């Protein structure tokens, strides 16, 4: 049985709204919230040998930073509201990774905030929300 | 701190430049020539085989490569498909995302080996060893895959994980620890140190001065040649600029330059191969004859000093120069990968000599070969090295020497960045990890980049060349000793793949 909601958190105001929105829904059905932060990363990028040697260290730092500065405050916020919370930091392609996490955590839904970027910016850089909607295995709620 | 180093660097370069105008070339040359000759005679000690001369160290590398190919049961063929699966990420645990992937380790190691040798070195092989040298070049690449496999597996297995989370690996570590495990602690320490010194000096030579020097030569060529180019006598200027760029990456930590290069180099390599294929097909009629020449040349060695054996020696020698199998340098880069199975990185590293030698070098050889068939003597007598490759391209595509020069410079640059790291690992093995020593090394490295363009460093380059080949002696010796460990790991790994204990991860 699906018993979690996955919330995409990136520290933006939109993601905060998504977390609050999801928290209300979660409380209603006693669903557990999974707060996920995806650090954009590709296994096919190129690096110097120096960077490779330090990669493990950097990764730990990145995860630590994401956890303490982004996830922890949001987690506290929703815990205070009375939700059961789990947090996860993962490297990867944002939309694809969120879809995989939803799968792995047996989530019933994904909540994600919208940045409201201009059309040109979306055209140039693509949008996480757009591609998540296209690829997600579960329903996606986009919080404006 | 960075500013201090930058200004010191500038002062040193300025004074070196002032001297270069005087007799510094002469002084260095006369002082080092006898030493270079002495070391060269020992390292490249040749035994006569018919009319040809076979350097013992090349024989040492070839015997090693043949032995590892048989001992590991033709891992270079067996492991090939699995190597591609690993690089594709089929076996990558999603929980480890963000760590160094197999693809990244391979790409970085390939950037370090694909260099001037792939463009110029092949031309040297074909000029001296005839078309038949190409056959042996490919053969050496094929056998070298097995040596790489052993080296890189050991590199990962015996690497050091530093308290700060970074890793240091490479032959000095596996020689040191591996021999210690076999109860030869003192000897391991000694060969580890020896290797570290060798790789440090090699990094200043073939990984540095040789690269910046060749980049400068090709740059002068396309800007008007020795006589016409404004840059012809401005080696100090080119060298200083090059040193500053290298310095800004390795000392200043300006990652963006490195990142751009690391991104551009693979595309350059692809671009080079695509255009080379176009040029080969523009000589379509000549292809069968060119390929036939490679095979007959390999067997008969027509017109080559020493005949077939002569062609064989030259082919093997150039292949080693190009793919570095047996020298152990690449295992330093490969050891950064995050894996619980050292064998996986060894398997991935198989692809390195394949890409470097079997694909890129062969393509270059065919460009020259087809040009020779359709227009014998297309290049002027005396034209060789990178200039010959350039001439073969120019026959079909008149503007190609310019992008070729650009590619050569980028290859040189990325090779320097990779080797600066290899040398650094040798250096830190000797002196320990520490910021001051780290900076000192990098400063020395930058000065040598500039020197490479400024002074005619024949003898010094010879010493560095000799040392790089000398370190393959302890390296391969170590590989023999540690090969049973690698074989055990390999057998266990492949057994677990077969039984399904190690599974592919399915990605959504």
What are the pLDDT digits (tens) for B312-331? 888 888 888 788 888 888 89
Q: Measured between CB atoms, which of B166, B249, B265 is closest to A57?
A: B166
Contact yes or no for A91/B98 (Cβ under 8 A): yes
Q: Which CATH code, of 1.20.1740.10, 1.20.210.10, 3.40.50.300, 2.130.10.10, is assigned to B2-499?
A: 1.20.1740.10
Instruction: Note whether B164 contacts A: Cβ–Cβ < 8 A.
Output: yes
In angstroms, rounded to a whole number, what is the distance separating the alpha carbons of residues B193 and B311? 35
Residues of chain B where predicted confidence (pLDDT) is lower than 50: 1, 11, 15, 17-22, 508
Per the structure, how many domains does chain A have? 1
In angstroms, rounded to a whole number, what is the distance separating the alpha carbons of residues B176 and B172? 6
Mutate to test the interface with B, among A6, A37, A44, A53 (most CBs of B within 10 A): A53
In angstroms, rounded to a whole number, what is the distance separating the alpha carbons of residues A135 and A129? 10
Chain A residues inside the 8 Å CB shell of B429? none
Chain B residues inside the 8 Å CB shell of A65? none
Task: Name which of B367, B403, B429, B389 is nearest B175 in CA terms.
Answer: B429
Q: What is the pLDDT of residue A53?
A: 81
Which tens digit of pLDDT belongs to each residue from A73-117? 888 888 888 888 889 999 988 888 888 888 888 888 999 887 766
Lateral strand order in the sheet of A4-8: A85-92, A32-40, A4-8, A107-113, A140-143
Instruction: Note whether B492 contacts A: Cβ–Cβ < 8 A.
Output: no
Task: Name which of B40, B51, B45, B61 is nearest B136 in CA terms.
Answer: B61
- Judge: B108–A90 Cβ closer than 8 Å, yes or no: no
Q: What is the pLDDT of residue B168?
A: 86
Chain B residues inside the 8 Å CB shell of A62? 98
Domain range enclosing A30:
4-143
CATH number (domain holding residue A71): 3.40.50.620
Q: Measured between CB atoms, which of B97, B167, B168 is closest to A91?
A: B97
Mutate to test the interface with B, among A36, A38, A45, A52 (most CBs of B within 10 A): A52
Q: Name the packing angle between helices B435-454 and B2-21 (round to 10°).
A: 30
Which tens digit of pLDDT belongs to each residue from A25-81? 888 888 888 999 998 888 887 777 878 888 888 888 999 998 998 889 888 888 888
Q: What is the pLDDT of residue A119?
A: 66
A-chain residue closest to B249, CA distance: A48
In angstroms, rounded to a whole number, what is the distance separating the alpha carbons of residues A23 and B268? 51
Those residues with Cβ within 8 angstroms of residue B191's Cβ, 6 or more apart along the chain or in another chain: B175, B176, B179, B474, B477, B478
DSSP secondary structure of B110-122: HHHHSSHIIIIIH
- Judge: B417–A97 Cβ closer than 8 Å, yes or no: no
Chain A residues inside the 8 Å CB shell of B101? 43-44
- Judge: A100–B508 Cβ closer than 8 Å, yes or no: yes
Measured between CA atoms, how close is B226 to chain A, in angstroms?
34
Q: Measured between CB atoms, which of B89, B165, B332 is closest to A56?
A: B165
> Chain A window 82-141: which residues touch B at a Cβ cutoff of 8 Å?
90-92, 96-97, 99-100, 103, 137
Q: What is the pLDDT of residue A121?
A: 61
Q: What is the pLDDT of residue A55?
A: 85
Mutate to test the interface with A, among B86, B95, B97 (most CBs of A within 10 A): B97
B-chain residue closest to A52, CA distance: B336
Per-domain residue ranges of chain B: 2-499
Q: Measured between CB atoms, which of B97, B111, B336 is closest to A92?
A: B97
Chain B residues inside the 8 Å CB shell of A131? none
Chain B residues inside the 8 Å CB shell of A100? 94, 507-508
**C-alpha distances out from residue B505 to A132, B59, B243, B508, Å:** 21, 43, 45, 10
- Judge: B104–A49 Cβ closer than 8 Å, yes or no: no
Chain B residues inside the 8 Å CB shell of A55? 98-100, 336, 338
Q: What is the pLDDT of residue B414?
A: 84
Chain B residues inside the 8 Å CB shell of A56? 99-100, 165-167, 338
Measured between CA atoms, how close is A127 to chain B, in angstroms?
19
User: What is this model's ipTM?
Assistant: 0.82
């Amino acid at each position: 049985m699906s018993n979690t909601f996955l919330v995409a958190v990136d520290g933006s105001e939109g993601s905060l709204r998504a977390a609050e929105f999801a928290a209300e829904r979660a409380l209603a059905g006693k669903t557990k919230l999974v707060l996920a932060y995806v650090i954009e990363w590709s296994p096919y990028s190129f690096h110097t040998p120096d960077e490779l040697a330090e990669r493990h260290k950097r990764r730990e730092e990145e995860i630590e930073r994401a956890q303490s500065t982004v996830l922890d405050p949001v987690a506290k916020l929703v815990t205070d509201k009375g939700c059961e919370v789990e947090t996860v930091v993962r490297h990867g392609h944002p939309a694809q990774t969120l879809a995989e996490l939803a799968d792995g955590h047996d989530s019933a839904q994904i909540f994600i905030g919208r940045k409201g970027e201009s059309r040109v910016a979306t055209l140039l850089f693509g949008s996480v929300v757009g591609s998540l909607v296209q690829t997600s295995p579960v329903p996606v709620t986009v919080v404006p | 701190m960075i500013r201090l180093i930058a200004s010191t660097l500038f002062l040193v370069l300025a004074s070196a430049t002032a001297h270069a105008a005087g007799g510094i070339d002469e002084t260095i040359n006369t002082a080092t020539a006898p030493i270079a000759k002495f070391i060269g005679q020992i390292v490249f000690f040749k035994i006569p085989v018919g009319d040809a001369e076979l350097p013992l160290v090349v024989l040492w590398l070839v015997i090693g490569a043949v032995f590892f190919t048989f001992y590991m049961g033709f891992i270079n063929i067996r492991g090939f498909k699995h190597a591609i699966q690993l690089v594709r990420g089929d076996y990558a645990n999603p929980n480890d995302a963000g760590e160094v992937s197999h693809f990244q380790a391979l790409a970085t190691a390939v950037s370090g080996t694909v260099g001037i040798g792939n463009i110029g070195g092949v031309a040297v092989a074909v000029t001296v060893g005839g078309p038949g040298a190409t056959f042996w070049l490919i053969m050496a690449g094929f056998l070298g895959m097995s040596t790489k496999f052993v080296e890189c597996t050991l590199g990962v297995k015996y690497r050091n994980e530093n308290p700060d989370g970074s890793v240091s690996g490479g032959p000095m570590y596996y020689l040191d620890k591996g021999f210690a495990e076999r109860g030869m602690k003192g000897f391991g320490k000694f060969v580890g140190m020896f290797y570290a010194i060798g790789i440090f000096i090699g990094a200043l030579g073939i990984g540095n001065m040789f690269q910046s020097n060749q980049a400068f030569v090709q740059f002068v060529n396309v800007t008007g040649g020795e006589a016409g180019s404004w840059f012809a006598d401005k080696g100090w200027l080119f060298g200083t600029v090059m040193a500053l760029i290298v310095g800004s990456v390795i000392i200043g930590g300006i990652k963006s330059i490195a990142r751009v290069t690391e991104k551009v180099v693979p595309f350059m390599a692809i671009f080079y191969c695509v255009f080379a294929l176009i040029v080969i097909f523009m000589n379509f009629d000549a292809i069968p004859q060119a390929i036939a020449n490679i095979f007959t040349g390999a067997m008969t060695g027509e017109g080559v000093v020493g005949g077939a054996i002569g062609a064989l020696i030259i082919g093997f020698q150039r292949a080693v120069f190009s793919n570095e199998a047996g020298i152990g340098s690449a295992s330093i880069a490969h050891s950064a990968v995050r894996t619980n199975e050292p064998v996986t990185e060894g398997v991935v590293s198989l692809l390195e000599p394949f890409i470097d030698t079997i694909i890129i070098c062969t393509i270059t050889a065919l460009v020259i070969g087809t040009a020779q068939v359709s227009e014998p003597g297309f290049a002027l007598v005396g034209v060789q090295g990178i200039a010959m490759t350039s001439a073969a391209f120019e026959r079909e595509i008149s503007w190609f020497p310019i992008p070729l020069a650009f590619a050569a410079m980028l290859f040189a640059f990325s090779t320097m960045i990779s080797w600066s790291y290899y040398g650094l690992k040798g250096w830190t093995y000797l002196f320990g990890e520490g910021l001051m020593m780290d900076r000192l090394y990098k400063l020395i490295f930058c000065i040598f980049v500039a020197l490479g363009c400024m002074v005619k460093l024949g003898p010094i380059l010879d010493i560095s060349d000799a040392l790089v080949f000398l370190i393959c002696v302890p390296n391969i010796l170590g590989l023999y000793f540690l090969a049973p460990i690698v074989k055990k790991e390999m057998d266990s790994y492949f057994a677990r793949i077969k039984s399904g204990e190690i599974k592919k991860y399915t990605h959504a």
